[in-house]
Amino acid sequence: MPTDPASRRRFLAFLAGSPLLAASGLDPALFDTLLGTSTRADTATLDLAERLAGAPGTHTALQPPLIASPADALDVFDFEPVAQRNIPIAHWGYLNTGSDDDATIAANRAGFDRWALRPRRLVDVSRVDGGVTLYGTRYPSPIVLNPVGSQKAFHKEGEVAVARAARARDHLMVLSTVATTSIEDAIAVRGGPVWFQLYHQSDWSLTKQMVQRAERAGAPAIAFTVDLLGGSNRETMVREARRDTRDCIKCHLGGPPLPGVSGRVDDRDNRRKPNLVGYRALPPQLEQGTPTWEFVDRLKQSTSMKVLLKGIVTGEDAALAVEHGVDGLFVSNHGGRAENSRRATITSLPEVVAGVQGRIPIICDGGFRRGTDVFKALALGATAAGIGRPYIWGLGAFGQDGVEAVLALLRREFEVTMKQSGTTTVAQIGMRHITPA
């Protein structure tokens, strides 16, 4: 079942019109109320609907037909059920999971509903330019392919297919530390800049080698993720992994599938994580405690690449980042899988913008599913918007073609919103184009 609120609402509307549901006597309004924000609550509610409708699997039978090709998609949500059909359940749980009860995933989506658009009329919008420039590189769209780990868990080509799509559509791509493709291969396939996302390692000597490797490969920027330093409680991932009975000895040392999880930096255990292996065995420089701003200073001093922080959600931390010479920020809660704050990133964005005061770029991610979402973020002061799950839905559904289709749909929606708002360039988009809903 789709976990995105919009997808759930569309499925509910379809189910409410079913003669089977009508015959069961279930009130569609009550069904709507019962649907919660967590995967567990949604599953329980649909199980209730199945029982009342008289047969297990009713909601599966009632779902609209799946699209047969990327060209059939009307929006990015059309790719989700196809991807779910194709992807093993443990891998789907890894992609789908949030923290605790997944409420922050729902909050990210609901945050966009707090803002409405203010369309403008009688402006010549026959030509619009949605392009943005990041550190000297021009992109035709502000939509960034955010880092997502273990992409070969979703499609056999993984990040290679995504890099090809990024090249074809000329989008910025950010590669995860725990990608199933190396930074060298990603840059070669992309044929242009690929940023590298860095997870904290307990050994500074390893961190330095990893950073130097990304720089040698040609990455112009590194994004250090700071929102998982306190850990994360991913119940949905664990629950779905328990339903997967495979013994995944092809990917790691064996046992149940755990995409995105690495036991240690070891060639045997990280055969699918090329960015974690191949380093010299230098004397360890073990970190004391979890990183602080001192670590950020050290990271800045260790490279000539641009250094961004991924996971900043407050004005105080944004101002501190500028003080410490950080080159950019991702306003992010890891797609709702870091802390369970129940606070949307789009809600956090204005105070981060105020803390930065225009001095460094800001990329906002978390729940972006529509071109209108991208427009609202830019109106609130973001430089660009990052997507994660939507392009993985495209990847899992149709490989490279699916990723390209997701990017094309979002770009088209964004440019239509620009036209309806009377804006012909990204620089013209501002607070005057949105209003509290």
Tell whether the model's pLDDT for residue 220 goes beyond 50. yes
Q: What is the pTM of this model?
A: 0.87
CA distance 62 to 50: 11
Is the model's pLDDT at 194 over the cut of 70? yes
Average pLDDT over residues 188-200: 97
Instruction: Map out the domains of the chain as residue ranges.
Output: 5-64, 112-436
pLDDT > 70 in the chain, percent: 82
* HSE toward the beta carbon, residue 106, CA cutoff 13 A: 16
Predicted confidence (pLDDT) at residue 152 exceeds the cutoff of 80: yes
Half-sphere exposure of 59 (CA within 13 A, CB side): 21
For residues 275 and 16, the model is more confident at: 275
So what's the pLDDT on residue 25? 54
Select from 393, 401, 405 the least CA-distant residue to 86.
393
What pLDDT was estimated at residue 37?
Answer: 46
280 vs 160: CA distance, rounded Å: 26
Distance CA 39, CA 3 (A): 7
- Is residue 150 a contact partner of residue 94, using CB atoms and an 8 Å limit? yes
Mean predicted confidence (pLDDT) in 325-336: 97
Cβ atoms of 161 and 403 within 8 Å: the answer is yes
Whole-number percent of the chain with pLDDT over 90: 76
Q: Which residues of 376-403 are buried (b: 16+ CB within 10 A; e: fewer)?
A: bbbbbbbbbbbbbbbbbbbbbbbbbbbb
> pLDDT tens across 346-385, in order?
999 999 999 999 999 999 999 999 999 999 999 999 999 9
Q: Which of 59, 155, 171, 334 is catalytic?
A: 334
63 neighbors 80 (Cβ within 8 angstroms)? no
Closest Cα to residue 395, out of 386, 387, 385, 404? 404
Please state, rounded to an integer, the average pLDDT across all residues of the chain. 89
Asked if residues 12 and 45 have their Cβ atoms less than 8 Å apart, the reply is no
Provide mean pLDDT across the span 270-282. 89
Among 87-91, 127-131, 141-145, 422-426, name the one with the lowest average pLDDT: 87-91
- 5 has a pLDDT exceeding 70: no
- How far is residue 395's CA from residue 161's CA, in Å, rounded to a whole number? 8
Q: What is the pLDDT of residue 163?
A: 98
155 counts as catalytic = no
Residues 6+ apart with CB under 8 A from 4: 77, 80, 109, 369
pLDDT tens digits, 12-43 = 556 655 555 555 555 555 555 555 544 555 55
How many whole angstroms separate alpha carbon 12 and alpha carbon 123?
39
Cβ neighbours for 380, distance < 8 A, ≥ 6 positions apart: 115, 346, 349, 350, 353, 364, 431, 434
Structure tokens belonging to residue 321: 């980042």
**Mean pLDDT to the nearest integer, 162-181:** 97
pLDDT in tens, 58-103: 455 556 799 999 999 999 999 999 999 999 999 999 999 999 999 9
Q: Name the CATH topology of 112-436.
A: TIM Barrel (3.20.20)
Alpha-carbon distance 297 to 319, whole Å? 15
- Whether pLDDT at 49 is above 70: no
Position with higher pLDDT, 291 vs 20: 291
CA 87 to chain centre: 17
CB 376 within 8 A of CB 112: yes
Over range 236-249, report the average pLDDT: 85
CA distances for 298 relative to 217, 295, 301, angstroms: 21, 5, 5
Q: What is the pLDDT of residue 63?
A: 65
What pLDDT is attached to residue 107? Answer: 97
